[in-house]
Structure formats: C-alpha cells, structure tokens
Structure 1
Amino acid sequence: MTSQASVSQSERPLLSVQDLKIRIQMDNGEMKAVDGVDFDIKKGKTLGLVGESGCGKSLTSRAIISINPKECETTGKIVYHSESEKALHQLDLLSLPTRSKQIRSIRGRKIAMIFQEPMTAFSPMYTIGNQIMEAILIHRTKNKKEAKKIALDMLSKVGISDQEKRFDQFPHEFSGGMRQRAMISMALSCNPELLIADEPTTALDVTIQAQVLELMKELQREFGMAILLVTHDLGIIAEMCDEVAVMYLGKIVEQSTVKEIFNNPKHPYTKGLLKSMPKLSGNRHARLESIEGTVPMAMNMPPMCGFYERCSDRIDGVCNTQAVPKTHISDNHMVRCFLYKAEGEGE
C-alpha cells in the first residue's frame, strides 16, 4: 500500500495547466491569444515551450503567476500541487485574485520567473543587492543581516565575483550577462519549486548564453526545482529540456519527450522548425530552409488549422473547414494534425 502511494506521488505533476484560454478584446474583434493549452510540469524536470514570436508562449507562462495585463481574460485551470508535512494541497492558481495575499505568497517564493530582458525587469532606482534582498525579506526572513548574507551567497552561486562591491551597484553598472545572472540569483534566492525562464538568453552573446544555460542546469541539480523554459531556439531545447511542447497560434500542436520530438517529429510545423536549424554536418554552403509566411493574427478565426496557409501537406476541404482535434499517436506523443490517427486506429 505504501509503495503504491509513493509511486503515485512521484508521478504527480508539480503543476498542471488545463484548458488555458486567454482572450483579448480588440476594437475589431476578439483575439484568441491562447486557445485551450494543456501541459504538466513534473518535479525536477524541464519542460520546453517552443514556437515563433506571437504564438502565445509568454502569455501562457505569465498566466501561471497572474502577471498578464488586465486586458487578458483568462479561463481554465492552473493546478499547483503543494506539499506540507501534514498533507498534499491542490490549488487552482487562476481562482486566486491577482493581488491576493495567497498568490503573492506563491509568486517569487514557490514559483519564480526570469524575464527576457533583465534591464527592464530590474528597477534603475535601486541597487542590485537591495532588489534581491527585497524578495528574501518578503518570503524568507525579516532579519536584514541574514537577508544580505543570503543575497551575497546567491550572487556567489551564479558566478558573480566581488559580491560585496556588486551588491551596492545599480543595474546599469552590470553587463548584460551579469544582469541576467543577477536576475537568476534573485529568482532562486527563495528556493522555488518551479522556475519559469522566459527567453532567458535572447539578449546575450553565444558565449554568455552557454554559461547561463550551464548555470541553470547546475542550480537545478542543486535545488531540485522544475523549470518551464520558454524559447524559440530548438538548440536550447535540445540541451536543456526533458519534454517539449510545440506551440503555434495559441495551441500546443505537438508534445512529447525531447528525444521523440527530434527523432520522430510529426506536425509539419515541428518539422519546419527542425529543418530551419543549422547543422554541423552537410554542405556548409547550402541555404537553411525556412517556413514560408508568418504567424497570422488569432483574430475572429473560423474553426480550422492555424497552420493551414503555411503548410505544404495541407488537405483542402479538411484542414481549412474544421477544428483540429488532439491525436495521441503513442502514450507520450500528442499531435494536433489531420495527417495522423490515434494509436490502435485502423487505416
């Protein structure tokens, strides 16, 4: 009996996003920015959310900690499974008021976020140390000496030398790579269970990018946290993630393990993304393939495949006339495409 309970507990996700929808009312209609997204984030694992700009990745990640603009009308469930010494608690984060004490106790403490551009995430009016200490004083201790010690220790963990000096400097006195490291130290200063990293290396050069990714992996091993990694870069996905959810026009169009997605992609959009990656082997003078067209606006769209206009495998009269259902082609591989049938279905 005990073993069964422990197995179910180990398989339980840390966070479950269920039928997440985000609507934005515009002057010329309703935009379905996120349209029925489902995924689980497992303890200690990394889930990659990948897709082009405008697919709804950032809105999805920010909905988890309720920091989207008030214009976003959000429905669905985001179930956070928290454990205490006495019991397991299931909490729907979307049911909490955005300014409530309960969501604020989770935001930063249990679920932390690294933003895409740390220069805009940090206030230019306060020192780096002051801003890291603020989170610690809110969530961990009221003792300022202890809070400063924790902040200095975190700056050291992320590879910032001369911490005492850096502690008293302002964001503009840090390089881009150092600001990103400081942002990571602030996010991890309260030992979160889940770290949301929204394009954490976009503004960094390749060398610093590699250092930041390695740092995130080291800190994940040390703290045992889960990571939701939001990116458009499949190279980063391959290096960092255990599972991948490919997002297009507000929907997840394919989801599986990293190995399965890279070795056995199914959706034409996923295949296009993989073909557009530069390769070390092959003809170095050959041009990279690209996906023709751009992501359309999710505005007043009829029931159809959002990738229809850009897809070379489209089926006229099918893909453009009805909503595309999810198809589970195996236990751990889901695709949203009319080209495939579920596992066990006949031809």
Structure 2
Amino acid sequence: MTTQAIRAEQPLLSVQDLKIRIQMDNGEMRAVDGVDFEIKKGKTLGLVGESGCGKSLTSRAIISINPKECETSGTIIYRSEEEQTREELNLLSLDPNSKKIRSIRGRKIAMIFQEPMTAFSPMYTIGNQIMEAILIHRTKNKKEAKKIALEMLGKVGISDQEKRFDQYPHEFSGGMRQRAMISMALSCNPELLIADEPTTALDVTIQAQVLELMRSLQAEFGMAILLVTHDLGIIAQMCDEVAVMYLGKIVEQAPVKELFYNPKHPYTKGLLKSMPRLGGDKSKRLDSIEGSVPMPINMPPMCGFYERCSDRIEGVCNARSVPKTHISDDHMVRCFLYSDSREGDSI
C-alpha cells in the first residue's frame, strides 16, 4: 500500500483519552473525562448534549484556548494534508503560546464562536480584523489581503462589501456578524472548522441561511467540520456522524442516520423524544428528561446518567464506571444494558 493510500485512510484529527480537570474549592471537577473521536477530511462530526456536558471545553482544547485553570491530558493528533507541510502532530504537546500552535490556530484549524460580539473587538472594523488573520497566515501584502477579505465577505452573502469592510461590529446585525465571523474563519482556507453553537443566538430564518452557507462552503473548500450544538435538528441537517456527550463522556457515537433510527443509550433516546415533530399532537406535551446535569466534582465510579435514567440497574449502574460497548463497527454506546460484562472501566 502506498504512503498516499495509507494517509487517505487516516483521519484528519484524532482525539484520544482527552481529560480536562479543574481544581475547585470543594474538590476536582472532571469536566471532560476520557473523550475519544475522529474527524475525517471533508466530513462533519456533530458533538451534541446539554449545557454543562463539556462540549465547548472539548472543542477549545483542540486549539489550546481553554483557561489556564484547565489541566488537560490525552492526545490530539492532527495530520496536515497540505502538500508542502504534511506532518503529524500531537497538539496537546505544543505550548499554547508557541509559534507552532499559532501557525495552526486560525490557519489550518479555525473556529466559529457562539457569540460573535464577544469574539470581534469593538475597537476595530470588521475588515481590519479579517485582514489581520490573512496578513498573519497568507500574505504580507495589504492590498492582496484586503482583496481576499472582500471576496470572503461576498462569499458569505454580505452585499456592498466595500462599505461593510469599514464598519464596526456593532453596526452589523446578529446574522451579519455571524456571517462575518465565518468569513474570517474561512479566509485562510482551513482544513478543519470548529463551529461552537454557531446559530444559537440567531432567529430561525437566519439560522437556516447560516447552515446552508456552511454546507456550501464545505463543499467548495473540502474542509472537515466539528459542529458543537445542543440542537438535534441541526445535527440531522449537517452531520455525517454524531457523538452524544454527557457529563464529560461520549455516551453514544454512530453515523447520524443510525443514531436517529436506532438509538441505544437512554440519554440519547430522551433527547430524541424531546424533539418537536411535524404533524404531532399539538395538545400533547413534549417528553423531557427529568433532573439536570450534575456537577462532576468528586464523582464516584458510576454512570453519570444514573439518577435521571428510568432503565437503571441498581447495584450495577451506581457501583461501577461504564465500559464502551460496540453495537457494530461504527456504533458505540456506554451503557450496562448492552454490555456483556458488568465489570466497569478503570478510571
């Protein structure tokens, strides 16, 4: 097998046993607890779950922008596909302030944040901030950088680019700011785009436009996407594969159609039942998952969903950490209901 063929089979990004610990006054918080996933070139992986499950910390760990309080371990293997700079790196081994990670952050791996008003500086124009990324990563020629920035503003559907280029973030609507952030993220043709709740603050119409924009730009640039959201409707529209996250762990992972039509974990089933459906009985209340996500501080070895699960097994789910079970080659679940062994994982 040729080197090219071997590389073609390898994922663009491999996250292995990612753990993020935060020392609190009342103990250690296991915010992310042994997360594994892969993202293939040109594909979209959805990371879904309730607020507080560790989705954003996981995504931000990839480009080393979590707060200093986060103690991170594991490996994040990034395989560059560019002909001139083909390399395989463990991103967690790099100093967050080093030139190496800075050459990757924004250039090869870009990120769209949930609230662009906090990501853009109010002191500089939109055009200035898009140009900054281009000048750092693509060209030192300011005229060429401005031309690229104007082209990107046009690609994301912003009209009258020359005027908008010189405006400040507060002069843009919420939807336009999100489009501008997408243009900044894609201005350097990244291989991986991390989208952290990219449509949460937008109305339904603008949300649909932003998702369609991301799909079309993915098709044009061939980039991979890690889509972080709590909205399963967006997952169904956008993703090839989905990982369901709960209390710092991935509790189920499968191709998107497999997960929607054959969910296994009680948490996944609860999320799907809570979704509104066209043609459903309007007088009937939607199902909900009782309780809330607990704080993962000084957690004993047990299933984190135990207290909220109607299918729990007393003396098993609350006594051991849950092992992974592979339903098929591409469908994994962490649940004792599908495990042949009642012996839990080590922690």
Normalised TM-score (structure 2): 0.96
Paired residue for 1:78? 76
CA distance in structure 2 between the aligned counterparts of 1:84 and 1:255, rounded to whole angstroms: 29
Aligned residue pairs total 341
Secondary structure of the corresponding residue to residue 179 of structure 2: helix
Write the distance in 1 (CA, Å) between the matches of 2:339 and 2:296: 26
Q: Does 1:104 align with 2:83?
A: no
Which of residues 316, 338, 341 is equivalent to 1:340?
Answer: 338
Partner residue, 1:158: 156
Give the residue type in structure 2 aligned to 1:339: L
Q: 1:50 is matched with which residue?
A: 48
Query: Which of 67, 89, 92 does residue 91 from structure 1 map onto?
Result: 89
Corresponding position: 1:299 with 2:309: no
SS of equivalent residue, structure 1 residue 182 = helix
Cα distance, 1:82 vs. partner?
1.2
1:311 alignment partner in structure 2: 309
Partner of 1:322: 320
Q: What is the aligned partner in structure 2 of residue 116 from structure 1? A: 114
Q: Name the counterpart of 1:167.
A: 165
Letter in 1 for 2:259: I
Query: Does the 8 Å contact 1:329/1:341 carry over to 2?
Result: no
Unpaired runs of 5+ residues, structure 1, are: 343-347
- How far apart, CA to CA, are the structure 2 residues paired with 1:228 and 1:83? 17
Does the 8 Å CA contact 1:191/1:223 hold for their aligned counterparts? Answer: yes
| 1:11-50 to 2 correspondences below 5 Å | 11-50=9-48
Question: 1 CA distance for matches of 2:254 and 2:4?
Answer: 25
SS of residue in 1 equivalent to 2:79:
strand
Deviation at 1:329, TM superposition (A): 1.1
1:189 counterpart residue number: 187
For residues 176 and 314 of structure 2, the distance between their equivalents in structure 1, rounded to whole angstroms, comes to: 51
* 1:283 positional shift: 1.2
What displacement does 1:86 show?
A: 6.5
Q: Return the match for 2:6 from 3, 8, 18.
A: 8
Alpha-carbon offset, residue 265 of structure 1 = 0.1
Q: 1:12 corresponds to which letter in structure 2?
A: Q
Q: Distance in 2 between matches of 1:46 and 1:84?
A: 19
C-alpha contact (below 8 Å) 2:56/2:196 kept by paired residues: yes
Q: Please state whether the residue corresponding to 1:126 is helix, strand or coil.
A: coil
Report the TM-score when normalising by structure 1.
Answer: 0.96
Q: Which amino acid aligns with 1:192?
A: P
Measure the CA separation in 2 of the matches of 1:341 and 1:329. Answer: 9
Q: CA RMSD in A?
A: 1.2
In the aligned structure 2, how far is the partner of 1:272 from the partner of 1:305?
A: 16
Query: Which of 235, 252, 255 is equivalent to 2:253?
Result: 255
2:93 partner letter: S
Displacement after TM superposition at 1:84 (Å): 4.4
Structure 2 counterpart SS, 1:301? coil
Identity %: 85
Shift of 1:167: 0.2
CA distance in 1 between partners of 2:296 and 2:103 (Å): 34
Tell me the residue number matched to 1:125. Answer: 123
Equivalence map 1:203-242=2 (5 Å): 203-242=201-240
Contact kept in structure 1, 2:323 and 2:339, CA below 8 Å: no
Distance 1:230 1:238 in 2: 13
> Counterparts of 1:143-154 in structure 2 under 5 Å?
143-154=141-152
SS of the counterpart of 1:339?
A: helix
Aligned twin of 1:345 = none
Unmatched tracts of structure 2, length 5 or more: 341-347
Deviation by residue 1:239-265 (Cα, 9 ceiling, x = unmatched): 000000000000000001001000000
Post-superposition offset of 1:7:
4.0
* C-alpha displacement of 1:6: 4.4
Cα distance in structure 2, aligned partners of 1:282 and 1:97:
52
Work out whether residues 21 and 30 of structure 2, in 8 Å CA contact, stay in contact via their aligned partners in 1: yes
AA of the residue aligned to 1:42: K
CA drift of 1:8 comes to: 3.1
Which secondary structure does the structure 2 equivalent of 1:292 belong to?
coil
Displacement of 1:67: 0.2
Letter in 2 for 1:61: S
**Residue aligning to 2:343:** none
In the alignment, which residue of structure 2 is the partner of 1:272? 270
What secondary structure, in the 3-state scheme, does the structure 2 residue paired with 1:83 have?
A: coil
Match of 1:200 in 2: 198
Letter in 1 for 2:26: N
Separation (CA, whole Å) in 1 of partners of 2:83 and 2:243 = 33
Aligned to 2:344: none
